[in-house]
Structure formats: C-alpha cells, structure tokens
Structure 1
Amino acid sequence: MATSYGSVQKTGKHSWKLTVSSGFDGSGKRIRHTKTVHVTSDNEEQQEKEARKQLALFIADIEKGQTATSGKMTLEQFFEYWQENYAIGRHAPKTISFNKGLFKRIKEALGHKRLDKIEPKHLLSFYKNLAEPGVKQDPNAKRRKKEKTPNSDTENQNKVSNTETPIINNTLSPNTIKKYHVFLHSLFEKAVQWNFMAYNPAERVEPPKTEKTVKKIYDEETTGKFLLLLEKEELKHKLMALLLISTGMRRGEMFGLQWHHVDFDKGTVKIEQASQYLPGKGIFIKETKNESSKRTITISTSIINLLHQYKAEQSAKRLKLGGTPDKGGKWQGAEKPEDDFIFTTWNGEKAHPDSVNTWLKDFITNNELPHITTPHSFRHMAATYLITSGTDIRTVAGKLGHANTTTTTVVYSHLLKSAEKETTDKMENFIQQATEKAKEKEKEKQKKQAK
C-alpha cells in the first residue's frame, strides 16, 4: 500500500476538514478520503493541533484498512451487490428468499441511507418500530392469500399452501426482531470486510432479548390417540406421518425420497436430498441442509410393510395411466419406476411439500386434536421420545442429521436436564438398594457368627 499523507482545512468555527491521499486507483485517479471533525478549543492554533492529531488517527485507520472507501453506496445498493457477489452461489435458494423477505422492511426504513451514514441509533429506531403494534407478522401474507391451498392429488400441487405466520397482538415477536438484527449484523460485517464501512454499527447495539420457547409436542396419551385415528386415514398420509414421527426426518427430506433410496431387505432409508418450493421457481430438488444430513436410517418392519403396500398402489396407478409419455402414457414420473419419487401427485409429478401441512391441519381439526403448528413438530417428538427413553445424545444427533451434538444439546437442553435429573433419581435408588442389600448380608453374617 502507498504511504498516505494528508492536510487539514478550517471549515467552520469549530470544524475542520481532513483530507488524506492514499495512492491511485486502477484508472490512475488519486484516491482521496475526507472527514469532518469538530474541535473544542476556541484558540485557532490549538484547534489546528487537535485537527492534526485527528488527521494522524485518520491516516492510521486508512492504512489499517479500517476506513471505508465506498461508503457512498446506499444500503439497498449494497444489498444487491452482496447478493450478486456473495449470497448467490453460497446460500441455499430458500435462504436467499428468506433474506429478501427480511430486507423488504429493512429497505423501507434504511435502504436509502448511505453505508457511511448508518449509525447504531438508526438500528435502535428500526428495532423499536418493529416492536410496535400494527406491524404485520408475515411480510408475504398478501401474496399467500392470493394463492390456493393444494387439498388433494387432483389439484395443482405446484401452488403454495395458504398458511401464514400467526399474528400475536399484531406485533412481531422478539425472536423475529432478532432475525433482522442477525441479518443486518452479517450484512454489515461483509461491508466492513470489503472496506465499504469503517465499522459494524450492529456490533454496538444490543440485540433484542429473545424468549426461550419449549417445542410443543404431543404427550404419550395424545400421541396414542393420534396414531389410533391415523389408522383410518389414506395410506399415503398414514405413511407420511409415521415416517416423520418414527425417524425425525425433515419434511423436505421425506419429499425428496425416491424408491431407490429404500432398501427393503435391510430395512433402511438413505437420505441424500430434499424437496423445496419457492414462488417463481416451483418445486425443486436440492442437497440436504448440510453434509451430515446425508445419512442412512433404519426403519421399522411395520413401516417397511406400509412402503411395500404404497409402492404397489403407485405401480398400479402408473400402469393404469399407460406409463410415461415416451411410451404413450400419461404418467409424469421418472422413466424407471425405481427413480420415481415416493410421494407424488395422481399422475406421478413430485408432490408439493406443503401438501402434508394441509392434510395435517385438516386431520387435527376434524378429529379435535390439540393444535401443532407444522409437521416439524413430529421431528421434535422423535427427538423427545429418544432422549427421554435414555438414548445417548450422539445417536439422537445422527438420527436427526444434526451437524454435531452441540446443535442437539442446544435445541433439546430442557429435555437433557430432565433426563439428567432422572439419572440422579436412578443413582439414588441404586445407592439405597445397594446399601440395603449390604445390610441384609451383614445381618446374615452376624447371625451365622452368633451361632
């Protein structure tokens, strides 16, 4: 880096302009940095000394790369730049879509501001506004109201379900507000790294306090009732629910399953991809959430039997429709039956991942069961039952496809504490029983010696 040098110029009663030259850009144009500082002294000579001290600090920051060189870019412009040069190619499509959703509100409040003008006070004001009554919980609510819910196989299952994030007192929860903070922090972090900002304003703001929520799941009695009622359901929905409850697999992982992923002889299912839906893109297949999510899990004999029955059903539908179009049929699935997706529409197309949400909502309502928000609750049930039954945390993490046991420990810490307390009770019983047995033996020994 070229050596920087600068000058000071009085611009007001107590204000001085600092100008620093720092080499040349690619087109041969001199790079200049400017900054206005305010001094306290009324004496002009003393003022200049203070200004020159500030200039020395300013030069040091520039040479350390701690001063932005492109701060004139607005936050909205930087977001577009960040997406094009960083997010696309690194982030999953769903993550990109989620971040775009977050930025809708950020754009309204801060999008017009220059990066070098954004201060912690602006973020505090934004978070305060998000917490005010009247802020809609779901920024995509209007779009979702216009779209229909896929209720059956005969409907177009490429449409998203009519589910919205519930509005509680018409305000955003602290947990949701924190998502905005986390996203802004990561955005500004890149801006600092790329020399667009001098510092990260989100680091100087305390994130909104979040509320710890315990995952809502069915207890043993309610689960039993749920499973009993499930017996009367269509085979496809029965199989979906049992797969989710017994294995803890993610919804997208289940809809990403093809028949060649099932080993009927070994009783296993290989998870190596997931199905997702995004507006404008439709249903698509992607890699699993992370590398550790790729796993082979064992399934019970009863579910293997259900899969056999369901495969026979699907094969009959395929035969009835005359096979694939290249063979003169109407089946829209794969050329080879083993490459067909397990869960499809009536004509073999990939089923919409939200179709299980729609079925679950209707099933719970029609049978007057306690409300659970999404099929993801089944994943929490699987983890809960495994942990409370004494399964070690490493095995549970592997079953769920967590990257490491830390994730499992954090998410289910309340259960682990409960399980840990149970071990204390078990140890107490063991100690008491061992002591009592020792006492009995000692008494018998004393009796024998007395004789």
Structure 2
Amino acid sequence: MAFKTLYTYRSNLKNRILPAFQHMSIKEIKPLHIVDFLDKLEKENSRGDKKSGGLSSGTIEIDHRILKNIFKRAVEWRIINRNPVSDVKKPKVTSKEIIPYDEVEVNQMLKALQREPFHWRILITLALTTGLRRSEILGLEWKHVDLSTGVIEVRQTMVHALKGEVIVKQPKTKKSVRKVALPSSVLEELREYHTYRTQERHDIRNAWRGGLWLFLFSHPDGQPFHHEAPYQWFRNFILKNKLRYIRFHDLRHTSATILINRGVHAKIISERLGHGSITTTMNIYGHALRTADQAAADKFESLFNINKAQGQ
C-alpha cells in the first residue's frame, strides 16, 4: 500500500471510524449502524475542523471502503459470518465543478501575495506558473533548479514530512519526471529568493537541522514543511484577502487553463503538467480546450467579413 493511502486510512480510522464504533464489539455492528454512520458524515459539523458542511463524497466513500475491508478480514478469520458493509450501498462519489481563477483573479491574488512572507510568495507563484503538484513543489531542492536558464527539473516528490520523518520518492510515472521552464520575471524572483535562503542558512550556522536536504521551501533551520502546510496556508490566505475560494491544487488547474486560453498547444501543456498522455489533459481540460478552439475559429470571421465588405 502506498504511504499516502496508508496515511489517509490511519487518519480516517483515528478521527472518525474508531470514535463511532469503539463502544461496540465487531459482532454487534449491523448494516443499519454502518448506514447511520455514513449518513452522519454528510451532515453539518462532521468534518472535525472549522470548515462548515459535511465531508465530501470522496472521503465518505473512503470510510465505506475501510470498513468493508475490515469486516472482510473479520469474515476471513471467522470472527463473524457475514460482512455487514456488503449490504450497504457504496456511496456515490460526485465531483465538484472546478472553476479556476481567471486572469483578473490571478492578478488580484498576485497583488495580495506581495504582502506575504518571501517563501510563501515564491511557493504560490511557482505553483501557478509551473502547474507542479504540491508534493513536487515541496520535493524541490536547489540542485533541481537551473538559475541561469530558468528551468526546473522535477525528479522527486515529498510524500510525507512530520516530526522529523521525511519521505521523498521518485515521481510515480516517467512522464512526471520532466523539465519545466519559468517566466523570466519569476526566474529573477527565484534568484533573489536563492540569495535570501543562502544568507539565512549562513546566519543559522550550527542550528541547521536540514541535514543534506536543501529544499527550496522549508523552515529557516532547514526542516521541511509539513506536507499539508501549503493547503492550510493557502486556505487562510484566500479567506484573509477575501478572494474567491479555490483549493491549493486548483492553482495547477488555473495554470493549465491560462495556457489554453493563451493558445498554447495541449501537448505542451500535457508535458508541463506531467500527465501520462495528452488524452489525460484532453479529458480534464476538454471544456476549456473546446472554448479556446471556438475562439480561434472566430478569429477567421474578421477575414470573411473584410472579403464580404470588399465584394459589395
């Protein structure tokens, strides 16, 4: 089982499943208890955090899967005769429509970022301009950045960073290992940021705790950020500046749609995002690509209108 999946399963068990069922023996749990548990997850204040509303359908489906696997093993071990989750309909996963920022909203965000700490400003700017995944950004080391040419090489991802435990892995697919070019203005900012981090590391001297890691984004002492830190910081940043709410991952979608609207070919976008194939890109951004294609077709109208006017 992949580390991220195992982490998610353990978290769900600790925070929701065990508190709900720990007062019962496994033989006492019936399908009705499972149904009641899943229904409560959809309701207000079931999240366990400050955000309103119930859990997403995807998270509820994961809890259903965990329970089914637990009881399946109990049947195999002959602790119980029948899996109660088998009689409970699998929750339907509904995908929310992703509406990335348009260029006006991006400008508003970039303006607000100027008032934020240097490292967060650069991190969000890179997420927007490169389309890198959160784990890819956190896994970046300075050896992966060519400050002369402005090219970032994605060669590893940070899967987990918590309490001194750092797990860095190679990307899942060959396509995810890639080179991504930076805009010249972003490259200039990155050079300044490199100078800033170098001085910061020099000043800290023996207090350095990053070991051999030289991550672009870390605490001043070199220890990497918690793997969920970008999500949490970006959410607070959005709320503080009264910007339209999008997820951190939606910066990746924003990056792609801006390139589409600027007429960049889908194959280039696919390579920048590290998709396994251009088909993946077409499936995710099909609507945006069709809209851009129609806009391209409409550009011919002016030519035909000129010819019609001259023929009259």
Question: Which bracket does the TM-score occupy, shorter chain normalised?
Answer: 0.7 to 0.9
**Partner of residue 333 from structure 1, selected from 210, 214, 220:** 210
Report the 3-state secondary structure (helix = DSSP H, G, I; strand = E; otherwise coil) of the residue aligned with 1:321: helix
Q: CA deviation at 1:354?
A: 4.5
**Partner of residue 120 from structure 2, selected from 237, 241, 250:** 237
**Partner of residue 167 from structure 2, selected from 273, 285, 288:** 285
Q: Is the 8 A contact 2:44 2:52 kept in 1?
A: no
TM-score, normalization: structure 1? 0.56
Taking a change above 3 Å as real, the CA distance of residues 248 and 118 of structure 1, as seen in their structure-2 partners, is same
* Alignment-derived partner of residue 156 in structure 2: 273
Look at both structures and tell me which one has the larger radius of gyration over its CA atoms: 1
Task: Tell me how far apart the structure 2 counterparts of residues 319 and 422 of structure 1 sit (CA, whole Å).
Answer: 49
Matched, 1:416 2:290: no
Matched, 1:403 2:276: yes
Task: Tell me how far apart the structure 2 counterparts of residues 436 and 119 of structure 1 sit (CA, whole Å).
Answer: 74
Taking a change above 3 Å as real, the CA distance of residues 436 and 191 of structure 1, as seen in their structure-2 partners, is farther
Q: CA deviation at 1:98?
A: 0.8
Moved >6 Å (runs of 4+): 117-122, 194-204
Q: Is the 8 A contact 2:159 2:169 kept in 1?
A: no
Task: Tell me how far apart the structure 2 counterparts of residues 246 and 370 of structure 1 sit (CA, whole Å).
Answer: 19
Aligned pairs for 1:105-120 (under 5 A) are 105-106=16-17, 108-109=20-21, 112-113=25-26
* Alignment-derived partner of residue 348 in structure 1: 222
Task: Tell me how far apart the structure 1 counterparts of residues 232 and 45 of structure 2 sit (CA, whole Å).
Answer: 27
Taking a change above 3 Å as real, the CA distance of residues 103 and 314 of structure 1, as seen in their structure-2 partners, is closer
Q: Is the 8 A contact 1:275 1:284 kept in 2?
A: yes
TM-score, normalization: structure 2? 0.76
Q: Unaligned stretches of 5+ in structure 1?
A: 1-89, 139-163, 323-328, 445-451
Taking a change above 3 Å as real, the CA distance of residues 276 and 425 of structure 1, as seen in their structure-2 partners, is closer
Q: Deviations over 1:30-69 (max 9, x none)?
A: xxxxxxxxxxxxxxxxxxxxxxxxxxxxxxxxxxxxxxxx
Matched, 1:248 2:125: no
Q: Unaligned stretches of 5+ in structure 2?
A: none
Task: Tell me how far apart the structure 2 counterparts of residues 173 and 340 of structure 1 sit (CA, whole Å).
Answer: 36
Q: How many residues align?
A: 307
Q: Is the 8 A contact 2:152 2:182 kept in 1?
A: yes
Q: CA deviation at 1:247?
A: 0.6
Q: CA deviation at 1:419?
A: 3.3
Higher relative contact order (CA 8 A, sep 6+): 2
Report the 3-state secondary structure (helix = DSSP H, G, I; strand = E; otherwise coil) of the residue aligned with 1:417: helix
Task: Tell me how far apart the structure 2 counterparts of residues 232 and 346 of structure 1 sit (CA, whole Å).
Answer: 19
Task: Tell me how far apart the structure 2 counterparts of residues 278 and 236 of structure 1 sit (CA, whole Å).
Answer: 18
Matched AA of 1:310: Y
Task: Tell me how far apart the structure 1 counterparts of residues 122 and 281 of structure 2 sit (CA, whole Å).
Answer: 26
Matched AA of 1:423: D
Please report the RMSD computed on the Cα atoms of aligned residues, expressed in angstroms: 4.0
Percent identity reads: 25
